[in-house]
Amino acid sequence: MKFIQSLFVILPLLFLNVVPSLAQNYLHTEGEDIVDANGDSFIIRSMGIGGWMLQEGYHMNTAGAADTQHEIEKKLVDLTSEDFKEKFYNRWLNNHFTRRDLDSLKVWGFNAVRPALHYKWFTPPVEEAVPGKVTWRQKGFALLDSLIKWCTTNEMYLILDLHAAPGGQGYNASINDYDTTKPSLWESKANRQKTIALWKKIASRCAKEPWVGGYDLINETNWTFEGNFDGDIAKNGCQDTANSPLRKLLGKITSTIRKVDTNHMIIIEGNCWANNFSGLTPPWDDNMVYSFHKYWNDNDKEAIQEFLDLRSRFNVPIWLGETGENSNTWFTECISLMEEHQIGWSWWTVKQLNDIDDPFIIPQNPEYRKTVAYWRGEGVKPGRKEVKKGFLQLAEDAKLENCVYHKDVIDAMFRRVKISETKPFKPHTLPGRVFAVDYDMGRVRHAWYDTEYQNLDMNTTPNKGHAYRNDGVDITTCTDSITNGLKVGWIEDGEWMQYTVEVKKAGTYDFAFRVSSEVQGGIIKLMLNGKPVFDEIKVPVTDGFKEWKTISPQKRHLEKGKHKIKIVAKKGGFHLNYFEVGD
């Protein structure tokens, strides 16, 4: 009997010791750090999955005609049918992000993904729900289950981001599918109750999943709770000082999650597109992270000082939960800045239809382009069969194997962060032709130089032609008789590109340059392995940038093996298609 009584005393003590240790098997916080199951500091290197469960207008190249997903859906139904809309979205969801996408991210160096969740795949809008009851849709949960399975296999963390909350959480409607004709998240108690219920449902399913990294409760609230409507910045909550409704809802979601899940991190974003944390401190949970977002600003300590101060003041981790949409140089410098200060990051986004700053571009077929042109008022109305063909082909082309891969973006995010050494973009053998756009991969001033190479005001376009590569080198279409379809244009004084080449055999070769120019005065300087070969190659006028001429300076001897050729615009004002080295 004494043994049994002792056992009843010991067992509760053992249980108390076991529960905290179980919680430590998950990604969690310790003071200012995010740590893994071993208690080691962990830098989250994540890719955001935008455009998959939530389509923003600019993701789909419909901005200005259909900025939000519900507008895209309505226009699609108007041209086809409700049944076809469902067919398209089922294929889109099944194709846009797959196990193969996640495997690729793992190979490149990512250790986490942050999918942008749209509530509609998990639960219907409050207008469609049973009065007084939250009902569920299985599509979203099935997608979530697949993600968890893939992440577990790859040992990658899944950061769940509620990007579109019921009703929409901000005036910037495209990023949260806000319908201005209906009550927002902040104007509807039913929407807020549905949001809380959704997180409870998700947390209940994920509570024991060690490769779920955390719950990013509400993405980029941008809403004034204090009636500040004096300009867009104020309207979007950037000048609010209390953020009381946001604090209240985040607190309720947190307490509801903790009833079913005490293991996973709670991630909190501020108002004003995540960065206004007024009224959201101090932390109200002992496993909480503050997430800020960073776009179109300098990559220096001053740009993140307020968040560093937040971390040290409250002894809580911070995380750059979303960033990107800039040039490769900006990417390298931003990641370097974050990791210097022990801050994890998540990039935006994995793929879309027309941006060179993502790892993948989804091709746009002619029927889809025709439909979007009609929506913009720029073309004739397409037939129903054309629309269906275009959208179904788009869903097929959303598969990774059908996308255009931008290896320079990934190179900028990983290799260039560590080393300044350049790397060939494509293999070049001489004698032969080298297209100007295929210069080496590497940092600015190491592989190339352009006077504009990052976007610090949202409106700058470092690559003026917005084609092919995400550096500052300006690339646009080329219509020369011999072409790969692209050229380097808008070349200014002092700009240059470097090319790593392999000379098959030693010999004396002639260098030819294919150029176009509207004005006299362009001068090319050619460097070989850091030494000048031709100091002044004069570029002729060609009666416009669509007219091309070949200029051939005298021959030069080349040794067998690898060489680095640098083409410098000693004086700009011309376009360059290719250079050619022949016997």
Q: What does pLDDT average to over the chain?
A: 95
Q: What tens digit of pLDDT does each residue of 480-534 get?
A: 999 999 999 999 999 999 999 999 999 999 999 999 999 999 999 999 999 999 9
DSSP 236: T
pLDDT of 564 over the 80 cut: yes
Residue 246 has pLDDT above 80, yes or no: yes
Q: Is the pLDDT of residue 1 over 50?
A: no
Task: Give start and end residues of each alpha helix (H) in 207-342.
Answer: 232-235, 244-260, 301-314, 328-340
Q: Give the pLDDT confidence score for residue 131 in this predicted structure.
A: 81
> 287 and 257 in contact (C-beta within 8 Å)?
no
23: confidence class by pLDDT, cuts 50, 70, 90 = low
Contacts of 564 (CB under 8 A, 6+ apart): 422, 440, 498, 499, 500, 501, 528, 529, 530
CATH T-level topology, domain 423-582? Jelly Rolls (2.60.120)
Region 422-427 average pLDDT: 98
Model confidence at 436, pLDDT cuts 50, 70, 90, reads very high
Give the per-residue pLDDT at 3.
34
What CATH superfamily classification does 44-52+111-350 receive?
A: Glycosidases (3.20.20.80)
DSSP 8-state class, residue 400: G
Question: CA 237, CA 225: separation in Å to the nearest integer?
Answer: 7
The pLDDT tens digits of the residues spanning 109-162 come to 999 999 999 999 999 999 988 887 899 999 999 999 999 999 999 999 999 999
Cα(352)–Cα(331) distance, integer angstroms? 18
Q: What does the pLDDT read at residue 5?
A: 36
For every residue of 492-560, DSSP letters joined together read: -TT-EEEEEEEESS-EEEEEEEEEEESSS--EEEEEETTEEEEEEEEPPP-SEEEEEEEE---EEEE-S
Q: Kindly report which listed range (132-136, 183-187, 569-573) carries the lowest average pLDDT score.
A: 132-136
* pLDDT confidence bin for 49, thresholds 50/70/90: very high
* pTM for the whole structure: 0.95
Q: Domains of the chain: which residue ranges?
A: 44-52+111-350, 423-582
Task: Return the DSSP state at 176.
Answer: T
What's residue 10's pLDDT? Answer: 34
Q: Please choose, from the candidates 461, 373, 394, 355, the residue with its C-alpha nearest in 3D space to the C-alpha of residue 62.
A: 373
Mean predicted confidence (pLDDT) in 345-356: 96
The reported pLDDT for the residue numbered 44 is: 98
Please write the tens of the pLDDT for every residue from 376-405.
999 999 999 999 999 999 999 999 999 999
